[in-house]
Amino acid sequence: MDKHKIADSIRAIPDYPKPDIIFRDVTTLIGDGEVFKAVIDILKHRYEKQNIDFIAGIEARGFVFGAALAYALGIGFVPIRKKGKLPYTTVSEKYSLEYGFDEVEMHIDAFRNKQGARVVLVDDLIATGGTAQASVRLIESIGGECVEAAFIINLKGLQGEKKLLPHTKIFSILEYEGK
C-alpha cells in the first residue's frame, strides 16, 4: 500500500493538546481495516526473518500495533505500562518530562527468563523519545536485546530518535518534520 494512503488515514488535530502542536490521531488508521492490515503487513515483512522472540508495546497505542504484529509473527507480546498497572513483580524505569518525571514498567519475567531475547519495541509514534528510551532500558534490564524500535510515525522535528540511536536502530513508516 502507498505510504500516502497510510498518511491520509491519520487524522491531524491542530493545537492539541496545546497551541502549535499537531496531534497525529492514529485511531482513524486503526479504524480502517485495509490500512491497518497494510501497516501490520509492512511491519511483519520487516521482522519475519529476523528471529525476533518478542514484541514489546508501549501503553496504549503501542499495545494495538504491537499485539497485532506479535500475532502476525506468531510470537509473544510484552506490555510496557505506566507504573502501578501490572499485577506481578515488575522492573521500572523513570524518564523525564517537560515538567517532572514519569515511569514505565514491565514484568520481571516478561521474556520467560530467556537471556538475550530478541525484542522489537513498538509504539504509534516517537516524539521526544523519553518513553521509548526508558522502554529500551527496561528491555535491557531483564536481559533482552532491543533489536529495533518501530513506529508508525516519527516526528523528526522533536528529535526523539537521538535518544534511541545510541541504544537501538529505529524504523518508522512515516516521518513528519514538524511537532
Check which CATH number belongs to the domain holding 164 and give it: 3.40.50.2020
Does any domain span residue 102? yes
23 has a pLDDT exceeding 70: yes
Does any domain span residue 44? no
Q: Which three cell numbers stand for residue 106?
A: 514491565
Bridging pattern class, strands 100-107 and 118-126: unpaired
**Number of structural domains the chain divides into:** 1
Does any domain span residue 97? yes
Task: Please give the Cα distance from 179 to 21 (Å, whole number).
Answer: 6
Which candidate, 65, 87, 37, 66, places its Cα nearest to that of 139?
A: 66
Q: pTM of the predicted model, to two decimals?
A: 0.96
Does any domain span residue 149? yes
Task: Please give the Cα distance from 126 to 167 (Å, whole number).
Answer: 15
Task: Please give the Cα distance from 133 to 150 (Å, whole number).
Answer: 12
99 has a pLDDT exceeding 80: no
Does any domain span residue 23? no
Which candidate, 151, 54, 139, places its Cα nearest to that of 105?
A: 139
98 has a pLDDT exceeding 70: no
Does any domain span residue 148? yes
Q: Confidence class of residue 97 from pLDDT cuts 50, 70 and 90?
A: confident
Task: Please give the Cα distance from 179 to 158 (Å, whole number).
Answer: 6
* Structural domain span for residue 91: 50-176
Q: Confidence class of residue 179 from pLDDT cuts 50, 70 and 90?
A: low
Does any domain span residue 101? yes
Q: How many CB atoms lie within 10 A of CB 103?
A: 13
